[in-house]
Amino acid sequence: MNFIRTTIPDVIICEPEIFADERGYFVETFREDKLENFLGFKVNFCQDSESKSSYGVLRGLHYQIPPYAQTKLVRVIKGKVLDIAIDIRKGSPTFGKYTAVELSEYNKKQLFIPIGFAHGFVVLSEDAIFTYKVDSYYCPEYERGIAFDDKDIDINWQINQSELQLSLKDTKQPKFKDIEELFKFESNYYV
């Protein structure tokens, strides 16, 4: 497993070694010891979730506030998505910035997104199966979001806005400047 820091250093691409031949392939998708050794702290994942979406489905931008804030490890089993993580840690040098990574069934990359980030993705293939590993249970009353089309963040979703498919909830999220529940930034520590 190779770990690569993105343009926001706390968001990490986890790139597995793929062993492939004419019969198929084998890949380790998660190694707690290697991830924690790279991070320098322990992560206790407690829930796995999966979604299936068709082309143009945009899910996000979501996060949960304490005490149910979540660290995520996400990947694509089928298809291709553009995955987005936005830094919402007040005082962070990358506060309000985002990083975008293409995740696909072919590159088998995963994205580690720590607490203090809003997360979303858009499906770029005909359909996609997307999995989440999180360290805190889903709790809808603590879920928050940011508008996917906020001009202050200016995300390039790589497809025309007319082709996007969103839930009603995701069309009514507040602008970044209007969110109230921000996270405090401290070096290598997330509150």
- Is residue 62 flagged as an active site residue? yes
d(CA 112, CA 40): 14
d(CA 26, CA 149): 38
Q: Which of 132, 137, 142, 189 is catalytic?
A: 132
Torsion of CA 13, 99, 188, 12, to 10 degrees: 0
Q: Which of 55, 62, 68, 142 is catalytic?
A: 62
How far CA 187 is from CA of 11, 89, 136, 148, in Å, comes to 13, 11, 21, 28
- Give the number of other Cβ atoms within 10 Å of residue 70's Cβ: 26
Name the residues annotated as catalytic. 62, 132
